[in-house]
């Protein structure tokens, strides 16, 4: 928008008309004070400013305008009937003006100047916008670099911990090789294997992350029995951590078309987290049911530390670790992100409900291909039909 400032209504009217006829949006002010008020409130591309006005004259208005950072880029064209002297023109430029037109105004010349300044304003605005988005982009990349560095530090630390333990147990084993005590050696060997499992899990997660980044996480899909998957995953946990109590509720008698190894990974991750983040009460419930939408829902309930409401939606984000728990529990903050991507690739959903101090319920769902008892009854019907046909 263009602001015309002139104390004479007739001048305001004629200039406004010329500009409006050329498709410019125009605002007017009949004194320097009114002009300043408007400039502070609105954004103008250009001000056409009469020099001789009672009260604040045009030069004073221009000086005030250029003093405000908001109006730094505002162009001013001075209009003057009498001050055509060179020193007045110089004063106009010194007070921040960019052009000086003497009256009587040639409308064509004024229009050409207005168009040029208007274009300049638009280009300046575009440049400012580009500068702003570049600044945001640079800031984002910094931040990303910082996050990566932080992750590298945590990852190296996490990898070093099981390695150091393995080294220690293997040294103990080496020293006790000639020892007759087989049980001691068995303990060292078992502890080495436990640490090796941890290391293997960490490296597998890191590889998954890079596969996800490159869009190369591929699913090996086939039809499988979901209930068997739940049972075998819980069995695996019981074998490695016998002290943990895991109970089951509901059935999962359905067939699912998906990658059973990856879905097992999700359930395993939920269960390992439930154990890890329940330092006092390792009492876990796995509930499975088919929802109204025909999806199989798996819920893992724990009685652990819980997660505050504002952090619940963040836990599935890459590298996110709830601050309160990050010092007390080891982890890379990528397990749940990998789980969420696996479930997303299966067309399912996931989430968490939690109360700090009471526990959490992590859940995921996957579309069901068919309910197994239905398949069985269909098979029986088919077989009966076949028998009938044979008998006819």
Residue recorded with tokens 């638009």? 122
Q: List the structure tokens of 188.
A: 């060292």
Binder to ligand ADP among 28, 192, 195, 273 (CB under 6 A)? 273
Give the total of residues touching ligand ADP (CB under 6 A). 23
Q: Which is nearer to ligand ADP, 96 or 306 (CB)?
A: 306
Binder to ligand ADP among 322, 342, 343, 366 (CB under 6 A)? 322
Q: Give the Cα separation of 142 and 218 in Å (integer).
A: 31
Which of 121, 72, 125, 120 lies closest to 96, judged by CA? 72
Ranked by CB distance to ligand ADP, the top (closest) residue is 331
User: Does residue number 162 form part of the binding site for ligand ADP (CB under 6 A)?
Assistant: no
Q: Give the Cα separation of 127 and 332 in Å (integer).
A: 41
Q: Which is nearer to ligand ADP, 292 or 323 (CB)?
A: 323
Q: Give the Cα separation of 182 and 36 in Å (integer).
A: 93
Paired strand residues for 284: 246
Q: Give the Cα separation of 368 and 375 in Å (integer).
A: 12
CB of 362 to ligand ADP, least distance (A): 6
- Phi, psi of 337, deg, nearest 5: -65, -45
CB of 282 to ligand ADP, least distance (A): 11
Which of 272, 343, 351 lies closest to 314, judged by CA? 351
Residues in 349-368 that interact with ligand ADP by CB under 6 A: 360, 362
Q: Which stretch binds ligand ADP (CB under 6 A): 180-188, 214-222, 283-291, 299-307?
A: 299-307
Q: Which is nearer to ligand ADP, 273 or 288 (CB)?
A: 273
Which of 203, 193, 185, 202 lies closest to 165, judged by CA? 193
Residues in 206-235 that interact with ligand ADP by CB under 6 A: none
Q: Which is nearer to ligand ADP, 46 or 274 (CB)?
A: 274
CB of 360 closer than 8 Å to CB of 353: yes
Q: Which stretch binds ligand ADP (CB under 6 A): 24-32, 142-150, 160-168, 272-280?
A: 272-280
Q: Which stretch binds ligand ADP (CB under 6 A): 113-121, 230-238, 249-257, 273-281?
A: 273-281
Q: Which stretch binds ligand ADP (CB under 6 A): 23-31, 241-249, 298-306, 382-390?
A: 298-306
Q: Give the Cα separation of 26 and 12 in Å (integer).
A: 10
CB of 325 to ligand ADP, least distance (A): 4
Q: List the structure tokens of 240.
A: 């490695």
CB of 287 closer than 8 Å to CB of 299: yes
Q: Give the Cα separation of 206 and 17 in Å (integer).
A: 69
Label residues 89-99 b or e (16+ Cβ within 10 Å = b).
bebbeebbbbb
Q: Give the Cα separation of 369 and 258 in Å (integer).
A: 10
Q: Which is nearer to ligand ADP, 222 or 281 (CB)?
A: 281
Binder to ligand ADP among 2, 336, 366, 368 (CB under 6 A)? 336
Q: Which is nearer to ligand ADP, 97 or 335 (CB)?
A: 335
Residues in 301-320 that interact with ligand ADP by CB under 6 A: 302, 304-307, 315, 320
Interacting residues with ligand ADP (CB under 6 A) = 273-274, 277, 302, 304-307, 315, 320-322, 325-326, 331-337, 360, 362
């Amino acid at each position: 928008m263009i602001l015309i400032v002139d104390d004479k209504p007739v001048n305001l009217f004629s200039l406004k008309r010329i500009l409006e006829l050329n498709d410019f949006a125009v605002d007017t002010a009949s004194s320097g004070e009114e002009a300043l008020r408007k400039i502070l409130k609105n954004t103008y591309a250009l001000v056409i400013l009469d020099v001789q006005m009672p009260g604040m004259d045009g030069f004073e208005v221009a000086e005030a305008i250029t003093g405000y950072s908001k109006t730094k880029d505002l162009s001013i064209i001075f209009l003057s009937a009498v001050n055509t002297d060179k020193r007045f023109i110089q004063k106009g430029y010194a007070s921040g003006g960019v052009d000086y037109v003497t009256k009587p105004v040639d409308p064509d010349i004024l229009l050409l100047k207005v168009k040029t300044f208007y274009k300049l304003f638009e280009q300046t605005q575009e440049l400012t916008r580009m500068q702003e988005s570049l600044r945001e982009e640079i800031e984002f990349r910094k931040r990303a670099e910082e996050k990566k560095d932080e992750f590298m530090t945590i990852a190296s630390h996490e990898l070093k911990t099981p390695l150091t333990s393995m080294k220690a147990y293997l040294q103990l084993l080496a020293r006790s090789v000639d020892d007759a005590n087989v049980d001691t050696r068995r303990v060292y060997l078992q502890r080495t294997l436990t640490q090796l499992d941890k290391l293997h899990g960490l490296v597998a997660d890191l590889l998954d992350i890079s596969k996800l980044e490159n869009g190369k996480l591929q699913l090996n899909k086939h039809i499988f029995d979901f209930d068997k998957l739940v049972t075998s995953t819980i069995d695996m946990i019981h074998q490695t951590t016998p002290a943990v109590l895991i109970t089951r509720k509901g059935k999962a008698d359905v067939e699912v078309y998906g990658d059973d190894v990856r879905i097992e990974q999700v359930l395993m991750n939920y269960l390992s987290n439930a154990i890890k983040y329940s330092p006092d009460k390792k009492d876990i419930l796995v509930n499975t049911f088919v929802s109204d939408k025909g999806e199989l829902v798996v819920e893992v309930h724990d009685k652990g530390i819980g997660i505050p409401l504002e952090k619940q939606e963040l836990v599935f984000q890459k590298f996110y670790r709830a601050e309160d728990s990050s010092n007390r529990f080891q982890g890379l903050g990528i397990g749940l992100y990998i789980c969420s991507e696996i479930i997303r690739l299966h067309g399912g959903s996931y989430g968490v409900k939690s109360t700090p101090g009471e526990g959490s319920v992590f859940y995921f769902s996957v579309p069901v291909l068919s309910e197994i008892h239905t398949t069985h009854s269909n098979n029986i019907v088919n077989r009966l039909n076949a028998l009938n046909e044979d008998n006819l």
